[in-house]
């Protein structure tokens, strides 16, 4: 059987990450055919040719619609800026391609809903690129929770913090425009929401507070411009099953680089995780001798599948890019009609509904229920 | 000049801590007279005699009012359960004694208000036992903030977590009764609120969510009883100066023993602290070579006053009880009419107003402004 | 029964620490009589009076021999510089006093041997001030080892590092003189040796390497002077029972403030400890589900006796000075003829024999057996 | 220009790692041609075919000598067990191929010397697979040292610890045979030695102690067999420039999974690193305000080249396998005749000379100078 024919739209941060995953997935897992890197699209044909050469794609184009017409392309990675996701993903699905789309779906909820509708109409696989749920450590955490290792969960805290918007002297750019979304909630807080979904299911009700640490930012041409969205968001939440949660997102958090910190409390123990140290987690169990109870720091290891496909020795560590390879393997399962672990458009849409509910709760200063799809 | 004549009411956890502080304050600081440990009260006269002997008090009584009448007593430590604070502190002040009262002031706001009124009427010193603000590390954090080391503060998170209520099989006891207060908010969340006051001043507006991890608990006599208050509370807050904050309190947090974790974000850096490692804090400053920026872990040292009064070598570590000795020195300053750093009844009352506002915001499911005294 | 009559010689770093311990031991433990702080000696009579007032001693003197003649003094704390220990301790013992002497015994082995002889001849208690073995965490570590929690021990590493000699521009002072001893080995490496003794017994054979990070240091009067001893020492060791060990001491280790780091490896697990975080330790046990094995960080707690005598809540933390209070309680046991846990002169001498063997092994560049007393 | 034609011998742990690197190096770096995965050899022809398919190699063989005769193969990865390195690497060089050989060179020093001679005679590139020096964090540490960020280095400690030999009940296997080498020193301690070489150059003199934690191990067929080499080694060392060092290696260290811990002390600061958290390091500099000095934890970031080729965001983390991709890029430089950063056979041999000197120092119980090549 031949490998999947792959099209790639976009070659930035996530575009390269997808290319690496497509290129490595068979080497790592062995049990899928090697994908054919068929066709790569960039905004500019020259850049497309350069990237196609670097990434090992056979064809290059400056017009992403060329991929739709390419019969050798079976699946398309959509890794362009968020505002283009809807148009591209829908067109790809309508052209009969499977879609692997980076998160979030789209700034506007209506666009995200159209994406789901297109996926359903197409009968094709449509998967979101929520890579953090693919961490073998995160899978182990879910297994522990399911096994009752820390009893019934009653409270969760999750923080996502980086400092790419922390410098007040940094020039105003599109991420501070209202058209790009709410700020920290969009394309940033969705990551911890993907973890919450993976572990506990969808959010039921929310109330958010949002803050602009800097009311305005300097312009390149001189002068200053008012910031239109919020770099900091804090949210009280109710998950299902009586679990209360707090979500905190801060993209102006000096010193934080890739922090996604989880604290999960249950009736028999608790679990801690921080993406900045993605190869470890901590487990506390209220059992055994009282003088010997404490948080256990567990390093990622071959026993945490599929770490073993990368490295046979424990404690040696996966990297950020490796998570996308695991996600790519899950995508293969989805396309093959097997059980898979990834966030499809239906669940992706529900995550975005919770984001919009948060924004609404902030503007109306009240608790808001997240509508169900 | 003679040392202060001390009366002590209560000899439990905090009573012993006060006795240790009174006994050591001159040895440590050298610049106050040795207090005279005059009169100790316990609920039971026999126990009072035992404790007076152990703690080095001259007189013992089973009736705390005996201390009011004792002309040798100039200052009274009130360390009894919270519901007795108001009666005792007010009587002591009316008897012309200075008062050092453990936190919080009282379960009912009206009682706390009467305590402040009594303090004002008496002209005596009335100080609350918020010891965590006395940590030399916390003083250094405040100095850094005041010096602009991390720029303008825009966001703060504070968590207080312990696990003394985490076991669902533990028997129902008075801490789960509504009469004891709201649960995690009372006599627990007031600690982080004291830190927020120390660093940023008082809270302006709040909205809280509260949770009962266990709806009922077993009774010693068999059967089960419904839990009447909340072991988990999460609060969105506005401090002054445009600072947003999140307060999280969980007294059923398995694995946490004495966690009071602060994250402070500013326009030039950030600061981290955790009471479980009370002899260190972390400072991130967005300056210097980008390749060398990171959180600096700073160990407590003689340069962080008054650590030097305890130990001349850095990194050797103070203990929990040492903070009370520092507080005792501040109390001496207050009595001497000098500048001091401690939480008086006026500021203590304002902390409790914020707690009651949190409870109100939860029951009314809306943001509530904290009334100003 | 009356409390012990206490004499104190020296009021510096350790002198104050002893005074605090004598003053607090009854308050903390309750089961010993309050010591009488009888007589304090300093080099200068005026300073002696000041310190006696601060520390609460009844009498003050500029001549330490006055304590020998004072019939109210039953036990003498010797906290002067190392070169005075022998003369003072021996005289005190000969005068019929019990002795609590700071470590190490004496720079010269012959003097230390005379101290032991004097102790034996006197029939009095003679205890060394090795406070780190009194940490409840260290006691728990010993209990775990004795219980076989990590199986048979086969390898140990211990590091002691501070940076008080790290600055090459710091002026030459007596600690760099040969007469003060070998450098890092004296009065510094003896601390980890006390821990090794506490956990595993005495050292059998050693080979050391020593280094001068700075060949000379500036003089206050201008010019430079050659450094005469070694600020860094590294030692391979054989303990009893086939345990190999490595001892590393560096008093010019920039960044280290009070590090005494232990790593203990056994056939079933391992244990880690660092004095800079003296209220916690880590335990790894090779048991249970492989996917859940990891180092458990255990916080000090009331269940680790006698932490409970200081604080009834776990994770709140003892301080450096508290260890001396525990040591003082052990001294009381020794004087009362009870079982006690402290390092007497016989074991103290054996520790110093191992130090001298290390120095010999360095000068002779060969393994040296430690002679047994 | 066409990409390098690659031959791969061995497809285990390191064989797969090489295959991943060859496959990804152009995607990551963009500035090298995509290597052609030409010919793969395994012990068994069937397995070779399976692995060639998985790894994307064009041809497969059960006889590694087929690669020597293949004109399309220009460079050969040697990833077989250590005892085969010499034969294969020498044959490859003699056949005119470049060689990328996993560490160490060979159990016998004479074999390693023949390998170097063959490399020199061939004029081909011969590089060892010491991947840990390729970590962007390690490069940053070297740059800091070279820039004098911590002054003149005077002392270094390095530990390598894992627990794959920690279980005394594990069956005897070839790693406990004398023919496999000295134990912890071979193919294990060479990793930290590669770091020492990278940072400080070669070792000058050594004295080692070695230990067998378990004198014998059970046999599969019943009974027990004596262990013939040492799982624990501790070494005092002199590096050049007056730097003293301690090397500790323990392959029976329960709880350690991939620890390679470095402590580097200089006249102005110190640096800490641990491979188990390979995306961070700690830097202490004795400058700035004393109240603010501390270890700075620096997360790997794009500014630490070539992290930026993998991920454009800081703190997201590389993995163990990524280091081999960087090494592969350096190999390309070497083959292109450019400056490169990797360990060639000459430096690899010198590392092994130091290992043999350690073993000699242990058997002769004396310091041994490491002969220079």
CATH assignment of the domain containing A167: 3.30.360.10
Contact C291 A283 (CB under 8 A): no
A24, A316, A322 ranked by CB distance to D23: nearest: A24
Round to whole Å and give the CA distance between A73 and A69: 8
Contact C168 D256 (CB under 8 A): no
CA A7 to chain centre: 20
- Number of Cβ within 10 Å of residue B363's Cβ equals 12
The two tokens of residue A300 are: 């990622």
Contact C301 A295 (CB under 8 A): no
Domain endpoint, select from B68, B102, B128: B128
Round to whole Å and give the CA distance between A56 and B111: 75
Residue C330 domain flag: no
Residue A311 domain flag: yes
The two tokens of residue A207 are: 């109330």
Q: What is the pLDDT of residues A354-363, one digit of tens each?
A: 999 999 999 9
Round to whole Å and give the CA distance between B110 and B117: 11
Task: Please give the residue range of the domain that contains residue D309.
Answer: 133-314+342-369
Q: What is the pLDDT of residues A225-282, one digit of tens each?
A: 999 999 999 999 999 989 999 999 999 999 999 999 999 999 999 999 999 999 999 9
The two tokens of residue C304 are: 């680790």
The two tokens of residue D166 are: 């920690």
Contact D27 A23 (CB under 8 A): yes
D19, D259, D277 ranked by CB distance to A27: nearest: D19
Residues C165 and C224 reside in one and the same domain: yes
Answer yes or no: is pLDDT of B65 > 90: yes
Residue C95 domain flag: yes
Give bridge partners of residue B14 from the DSSP assignment. Answer: none
User: Which chains, if any, share at least 3 CB pairs under 8 A with chain A?
Assistant: B, C, D
B24, B164, B313 ranked by CB distance to C24: nearest: B24
Residue C353 domain flag: yes
| A213 Cβ contact list (under 8 Å, min separation 6) | A168, A231, A232, A252, B154, B155, B265, B267
DSSP single-letter state for residue D292: G
Contact A265 B242 (CB under 8 A): no
Round to whole Å and give the CA distance between D272 and A253: 25
Are A209 and A233 spatial neighbours (Cβ–Cβ below 8 Å)?
A: yes
Confidence of residue D164 (pLDDT cuts 50, 70, 90): very high
CATH assignment of the domain containing C36: 3.40.50.720
Give bridge partners of residue B39 from the DSSP assignment. Answer: B7, B59
Number of A–D residue contacts, CB under 8 Å: 117
Are A303 and A6 spatial neighbours (Cβ–Cβ below 8 Å)?
A: no
pLDDT in the model for residue C1: 55
| C162 Cβ contact list (under 8 Å, min separation 6) | B313, B315, C188, C250, C251, C253, C256, C257, C258, C259
DSSP single-letter state for residue B173: -
Q: What is the mean pLDDT of each run of 10 residues along chain A (373 residues)?
A: 92 97 98 98 97 98 98 98 96 98 95 98 98 98 98 98 97 92 91 98 97 96 96 97 96 98 98 98 96 98 98 98 98 98 98 97 97 86
Element (H, E) at C198: helix C190-200
Residue A329 domain flag: no
Q: Categorise residue A138: left if φ over 0, alpha if ψ from -120 to 50, beta otherwise.
A: alpha
Confidence of residue B1 (pLDDT cuts 50, 70, 90): low
C chain contacts of residue D248, beta-carbon cutoff 8 Å: 157, 246
| A141 Cβ contact list (under 8 Å, min separation 6) | A199, A262, A264, A271, A273, A281
Q: What is the pLDDT of residues D129-141, one digit of tens each?
A: 999 999 999 999 9
Contact A164 D55 (CB under 8 A): no
Residue A337 domain flag: no
B chain contacts of residue D290, beta-carbon cutoff 8 Å: 301, 303
Residues D184 and D95 reside in one and the same domain: no
Round to whole Å and give the CA distance between A190 and C191: 52
Residue A326 domain flag: no
Contact A211 B242 (CB under 8 A): yes
| A232 Cβ contact list (under 8 Å, min separation 6) | A183, A184, A210, A211, A212, A213, A249, A250, A251, A252, B154, B155, B244
DSSP single-letter state for residue C372: P
Residues D142 and D80 reside in one and the same domain: no
Residue C327 domain flag: no
Q: Name the residue in chain C with its Cα closest to that of D251.
A: C265
User: Which chains, if any, share at least 3 CB pairs under 8 A with chain C?
Assistant: A, B, D
Interval B275-292 mean pLDDT: 97
ipTM of the complex in this document: 0.97
Round to whole Å and give the CA distance between D7 and D17: 14
- Number of Cβ within 10 Å of residue C205's Cβ equals 16
Is the sign of the CA dihedral D143, D148, D149, D154 positive or negative? Answer: positive
Contact B265 A284 (CB under 8 A): no
Q: By C-alpha distance, which of B99, B81, B73 is closest to B10?
A: B81
Contact A311 D317 (CB under 8 A): no
Answer yes or no: is pLDDT of B120 > 60: yes
Answer yes or no: is pLDDT of D1 > 60: no
Q: Name the residue in chain D with its Cα closest to that of B139.
A: D291
Give the highest mean pLDDT range of A202-211, B182-191, D182-191: A202-211
Residues A261 and A176 reside in one and the same domain: yes
Q: What is the mean pLDDT of chain D?
A: 97
The two tokens of residue B70 are: 């004792």
Contact C13 B311 (CB under 8 A): yes
pLDDT in the model for residue B22: 98
pLDDT in the model for residue A1: 55
A236, A250, A267 ranked by CB distance to B168: nearest: A267
D17, D19, D258 ranked by CB distance to A315: nearest: D258
Helix spans in D11-100 (H): 13-29, 45-55, 65-68, 85-94
Domain endpoint, select from D74, D105, D128: D128
- Number of Cβ within 10 Å of residue A359's Cβ equals 21
C207, C246, C255 ranked by CB distance to D207: nearest: C207
Residues D111 and D141 reside in one and the same domain: no
Q: What is the pLDDT of residues D264-274, one digit of tens each?
A: 999 999 999 99
C140, C280, C294 ranked by CB distance to A291: nearest: C140
Answer yes or no: is pLDDT of B9 > 60: yes
DSSP string, A275-331: GGGTTEEEEEES-S-GGG--EEEEE--TTSTTHHHH-SSTTS---HHHHHHHHHHHH
pLDDT in the model for residue A311: 98
Question: How distant is the Cα of D255 from the closest Cα of chain A, in angstroms?
Answer: 9
Domain endpoint, select from D113, D128, D143: D128
Alpha-carbon distance values, C98 to C6, C101, C126, C339 (Å): 10, 10, 6, 16
Helix spans in B257-344 (H): 307-310, 320-335
Interval D195-217 mean pLDDT: 97
Residues D117 and D187 reside in one and the same domain: no
Residues C179 and C280 reside in one and the same domain: yes
At A160 the three-state DSSP class reads: strand
Residues A34 and A176 reside in one and the same domain: no
The two tokens of residue C112 are: 């230390």
D chain contacts of residue C265, beta-carbon cutoff 8 Å: 166, 213, 250, 252-254
Q: Chain D interface residues facing chain B, Cβ-Cβ under 8 Å?
A: 140, 143-144, 149, 280, 282-283, 290-299, 301, 303-304
Question: How distant is the Cα of A13 from the closest Cα of chain B, in angstroms?
Answer: 21
Alpha-carbon distance values, A12 to A41, A73, B87 (Å): 11, 20, 68
Residues C256 and C155 reside in one and the same domain: yes
Residues B218 and B280 reside in one and the same domain: yes
Residues A107 and A203 reside in one and the same domain: no
D chain contacts of residue A28, beta-carbon cutoff 8 Å: 20
Q: Chain C interface residues facing chain A, Cβ-Cβ under 8 Å?
A: 140, 143-144, 149, 280, 282-283, 290-299, 301, 303-304
C144, C297, C304 ranked by CB distance to A297: nearest: C297
Question: How distant is the Cα of C165 from the closest Cα of chain B, in angstroms?
Answer: 13
Strands A280-285 and A269-274: antiparallel
Strands D295-299 and D280-285: antiparallel
Q: Name the residue in chain C with its Cα closest to that of A294.
A: C298
Contact D232 C155 (CB under 8 A): yes
In chain D, what is the straight-line distance between the N-terminal and C-terminal CA atoms, in Å?
37
pLDDT per residue of chain C (373 residues) written in tens, 0 to 9: 589 999 999 999 999 999 999 999 999 999 999 999 999 999 999 999 999 999 999 999 999 999 999 999 999 999 999 999 999 999 999 999 999 999 999 999 999 999 999 999 999 999 999 999 999 999 999 999 999 999 999 999 999 999 999 999 999 999 999 988 999 998 789 999 999 999 999 999 999 999 999 999 999 999 999 999 999 999 999 999 999 999 999 999 999 999 999 999 999 999 999 999 999 999 999 999 999 999 999 999 999 999 999 999 999 999 999 999 999 999 999 999 999 999 999 999 999 999 999 999 999 999 999 998 7
Strands B259-266 and B153-161: antiparallel
Round to whole Å and give the CA distance between D101 and D115: 10
User: Which chains, if any, share at least 3 CB pairs under 8 A with chain D?
Assistant: A, B, C
Are D303 and B291 spatial neighbours (Cβ–Cβ below 8 Å)?
A: yes
Select from D294, D300, D308 the residue whose CB has the most chain B CBs within 10 Å, as the one to mutate to test that interface: D294
C chain contacts of residue B319, beta-carbon cutoff 8 Å: 310, 316-322
| C212 Cβ contact list (under 8 Å, min separation 6) | C227, C229, C230, C231, C232
DSSP string, B98-122: EEEE-SSS-SSHHHHHHHHHHHHHH
Domain count, chain C: 2
Q: What is the pLDDT of residues D214-258, one digit of tens each?
A: 999 999 999 999 999 999 999 999 999 999 999 999 999 999 999
Are C201 and C252 spatial neighbours (Cβ–Cβ below 8 Å)?
A: no
Helix, strand, coil share of chain D (percent; to 5): 40, 25, 35
Residues C114 and C213 reside in one and the same domain: no
DSSP string, D324-371: HHHHHHHHHHHHTT----SEEHHHHHHHHHHHHHHHHHHHHTS-EEPP
Burial class (CB in 10 A: 0-12, 13-18, 19+), B142: middle
A144, A280, A298 ranked by CB distance to C293: nearest: A298
Q: Chain B interface residues facing chain D, Cβ-Cβ under 8 Å?
A: 140, 143-144, 149, 280, 282-283, 290-299, 301, 303-304
Q: Name the residue in chain C with its Cα closest to that of A288.
A: C288
C17, C276, C279 ranked by CB distance to B299: nearest: C276
Round to whole Å and give the CA distance between C315 and A295: 13
């Amino acid at each position: 059987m031949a490998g999947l024919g792959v099209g790639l739209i976009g070659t930035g941060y996530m575009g390269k990450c997808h290319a690496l995953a497509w290129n490595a997935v068979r080497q790592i897992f062995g049990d899928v055919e090697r994908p054919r890197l068929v066709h790569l699209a960039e905004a500019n044909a020259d850049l497309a040719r350069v990237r196609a050469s670097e990434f090992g794609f056979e064809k290059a184009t400056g017009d992403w619609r060329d991929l739709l017409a390419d019969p050798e392309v079976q699946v398309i990675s959509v890794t362009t800026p968020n505002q283009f996701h809807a148009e591209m993903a829908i067109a790809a699905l309508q052209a009969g391609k499977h879609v692997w789309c980076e998160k979030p779906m789209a700034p506007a909820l209506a666009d995200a809903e159209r994406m789901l509708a297109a996926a359903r109409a197409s009968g094709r696989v449509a998967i979101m690129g929520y890579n953090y749920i693919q961490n073998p450590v995160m899978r182990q955490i879910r297994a522990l929770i399911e096994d009752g290792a820390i009893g019934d969960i009653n409270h969760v805290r999750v923080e996502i913090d980086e400092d790419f918007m922390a410098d007040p002297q940094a020039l105003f750019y599109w991420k501070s425009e209202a058209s790009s979304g709410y700020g920290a909630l969009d394309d940033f807080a969705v990551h911890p929401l993907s973890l919450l979904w993976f572990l506990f299911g969808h959010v039921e009700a929310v109330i958010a507070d949002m803050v602009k640490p800097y009311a305005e930012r300097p312009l390149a041409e001189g002068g200053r411009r008012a910031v239109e969205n919020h770099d900091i968001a804090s949210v009280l939440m109710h998950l299902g099953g009586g679990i209360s949660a707090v979500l905190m997102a801060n993209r102006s958090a000096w010193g934080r680089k890739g922090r996604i910190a989880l604290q999960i409390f249950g009736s028999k123990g608790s679990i801690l995780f921080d993406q900045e140290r993605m190869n470890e987690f901590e487990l506390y169990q209220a059992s055994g001798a009282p003088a010997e109870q404490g948080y256990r720091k567990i390093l990622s290891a071959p026993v945490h599948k599929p770490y073993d496909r990368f490295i046979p020795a424990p404690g040696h560590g996966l990297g950020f890019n490796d998570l996308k390879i695991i996600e790519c393997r899950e995508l293969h399962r989805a396309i093959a009609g097997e059980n898979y672990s990834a966030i499809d458009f239906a669940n992706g849409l529900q995550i975005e509904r919770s984001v919009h509910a948060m924004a609404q709760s902030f503007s109306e200063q009240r608790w808001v229920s997240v509508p169900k799809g």
